[in-house]
């Protein structure tokens, strides 16, 4: 695994990060970014479950999960800025989140991934996430938006 840049720090989101987070989300998911209003509400609702990677004052990655509910948590989003990819940041963000979720009592972690997103699927499999044997669910997130459920038992 490549070494992280020493200047990168993973931390919980802070209120003043909202516009940087919106910019990052736009960069990571240009076709389908979250509206700022949704990011704001995620920050309010899931504060301790929104981790960001900061490098020299700017945000270069984030991961968002739900707090455990009956032992289950969902990963809503994981993204790394294009210029910061393949440096171990996605893995680092996911590791930190899983460590926190485990400590909070999460036993099962679930997520939806676009089935052709090989980078993400490979990353999740390397953590032990198992794809739904039934395969991708058609139009799960709307017309043409097929998604594969992946599950990890902690």
Binding site for ligand COA (CB under 6 A): 1, 28, 78-80, 85-91, 113, 117, 119-120, 122-123, 126
In angstroms, give the least distance from the CB of 134 to ligand COA.
18
Query: Toward ligand COA, which CB reaches closer, 5 or 91?
Result: 91
In angstroms, give the least distance from the CB of 40 to ligand COA.
21
Query: Toward ligand COA, which CB reaches closer, 2 or 105?
Result: 2
In angstroms, give the least distance from the CB of 62 to ligand COA.
9
In angstroms, give the least distance from the CB of 94 to ligand COA.
8
Cα 35 to chain center, whole Å? 16
What residue number has its CB nearest to ligand COA?
90
Query: Toward ligand COA, which CB reaches closer, 99 or 105?
Result: 99
């Amino acid at each position: 695994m490549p070494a992280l840049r020493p200047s990168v720090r993973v931390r919980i989101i802070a209120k003043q990060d909202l516009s940087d987070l919106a910019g990052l989300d736009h960069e990571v998911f240009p076709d389908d970014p979250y509206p700022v209003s949704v990011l704001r509400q995620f920050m309010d609702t899931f504060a301790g479950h929104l981790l960001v990677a900061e490098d020299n004052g700017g945000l270069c990655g984030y991961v968002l999960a739900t707090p455990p509910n009956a032992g289950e948590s969902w990963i809503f989003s994981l993204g790394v800025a294009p210029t910061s990819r393949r440096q171990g940041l996605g893995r680092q963000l996911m590791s930190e989140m899983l460590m926190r979720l485990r400590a909070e009592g999460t036993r099962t972690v679930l997520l939806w991934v676009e089935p052709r997103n090989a980078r993400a699927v490979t990353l999740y499999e390397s953590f032990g996430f198992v794809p739904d044997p039934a395969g991708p669910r058609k139009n799960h997130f709307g017309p043409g938006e097929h998604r594969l459920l992946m599950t990890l038992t902690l």
